[in-house]
Amino acid sequence: MLEAFRILEEEKHINKDDIIDAVKESLKSAYKRRYGQSESCVIEFNEKTGDFQVFTVREVVEEVFDSRLEISLSDALKISSAYELGDRIRFEESVKEFGRVAAQSAKQTIMEKMRRQMREVTYNEYKQHEGEIMTGTVERFDQRFIYVNLGSLEAQLSHQDQIPGETWKSHDRIEVYVYKVENNPKGVNVFVSRSHPEFIKRIMEQEIPEVFDGTVEIMSVSREAGDRTKVAVRSHNDNVDAIGTIVGRGGSNIKKVIGKFHPKRYDAKTGVEIPVEENIDVIQWVEDPAEFIYNAIAPAEVDMVLFDDEDSKRATVVVPDSKLSLAIGRRGQNVRLAAHLTGYRIDIKSASEYEALEAEREAQGAVDSSSVEAPVVQEIDADFAAAAEAFGTEAE
């Protein structure tokens, strides 16, 4: 018995005390089933022999009403002349009559404890990897998920967590970002992603030493997987250029990051799928929100940034008429990514549209300069605009 406990503890990670408690509970339950009560039943485990002993405790009384709970004074005195009324005497019971039922119950209880313990061990093992990248093997597919074998379980990679255009086959090696680990009665569920913005961040930590050691910090990431990503970075060393470090000489670092993805798109002219690259715009993070929004809108120029007095997380960005489509981007992608990157709800307006709106407000008396405080306006000087534009890339 002791050897069995040791094996269960070492191989299945089940505490010996939990097993002993399970057996005790099972013996007591079987005793109750056999005799209709368990109030007088005491179970003890002998640490030296590894045996379980069952005792009943009976009270010494004048007249016996329940022989399982009581013993007469006359019978007690036959055992020992020292017994008196009210004393409690222990009698060892044979487990033969209910031992088989107890053994089956104990087995079921221990198996359930084993399942719970294994779930807990697996949960703790993967919970510590939440927010990290793990490498696994593509195991199988169904209509909802790609199942990725991470070692002791299969993680779930849903359609929305895949990079559009990527294709996988069984037994392919795959890197995934673990974003959620759940423990429930049916087992441990690990949800992974390749489209998550944090996936880009972790890949950069792997591929760029300055990001890994904290010299360059990735402040935020906004991503439309397989198409375009904006990454805001800052340097903690005045001698290190954050953007230049992320991009690398000749774009070497960015190429290593992009090389981790291999989405494809269908070419109507050739009739075949061709590889495409996910464009990554690297943005200088600054503490000033107006300047940060200006950077995030790149490659478009910005005339001014206005903040809403009633909504602290809303901003209106005014751009030259000729740059309006560039600022908005294809299907609104540029402004959408900029909004996610900065955490502001951004409205883009052309300079002429903004002037027309201001003229209309003044004509209608919507703004009373004598009683209403003017909105916060931050002009972007030409030198700063030119410098920021140099870091941008042309929208597709």
Q: Specify the 3-state DSSP secondary structure of 284.
A: strand
Q: Does domain 129-195 have CATH number 2.170.190.11?
A: no
- Residue 170 per-residue DSSP state: T
Q: 2-125 maps to which CATH number?
A: 3.30.1480.10
User: Minimal CA–CA distance to 73: which of 85, 90, 89, 88?
Assistant: 85
Architecture, CATH, for domain 290-396 = 2-Layer Sandwich (3.30)
Q: In the chain, which segments carry CATH 3.30.300.20? A: 207-285, 290-396
| Per-position pLDDT tens, the chain of length 396 | 677 777 777 776 677 787 788 788 878 887 777 777 777 788 888 888 888 888 888 889 988 888 878 889 898 888 888 889 999 998 887 777 666 776 777 677 777 777 887 888 889 989 999 999 999 999 999 989 999 999 888 999 999 999 998 889 999 999 999 999 999 888 899 999 999 999 999 999 999 999 999 999 999 999 999 899 999 999 999 999 999 999 999 999 999 999 888 888 777 788 887 878 889 999 999 999 999 999 999 999 999 999 988 888 999 999 999 999 999 999 999 999 999 999 999 999 999 998 888 888 887 764 454 444 444 445 444 444 444 444 444 443
Q: In the chain, which segments carry CATH 2.40.50.140? A: 129-195
Residue 248 has which token pair? 């690398």
Q: In the chain, which segments carry CATH 3.30.1480.10? A: 2-125
User: Minimal CA–CA distance to 41: which of 6, 93, 5, 77?
Assistant: 93
CB-based burial of residue 142 (10 Å sphere; 0-12 exposed, 13-18 middle, 19+ buried)? exposed
Q: Which CATH number fits domain 207-285: 3.40.190.10, 3.90.1150.10, 3.30.300.20, 3.40.50.2300?
A: 3.30.300.20
Quote the pTM value: 0.69
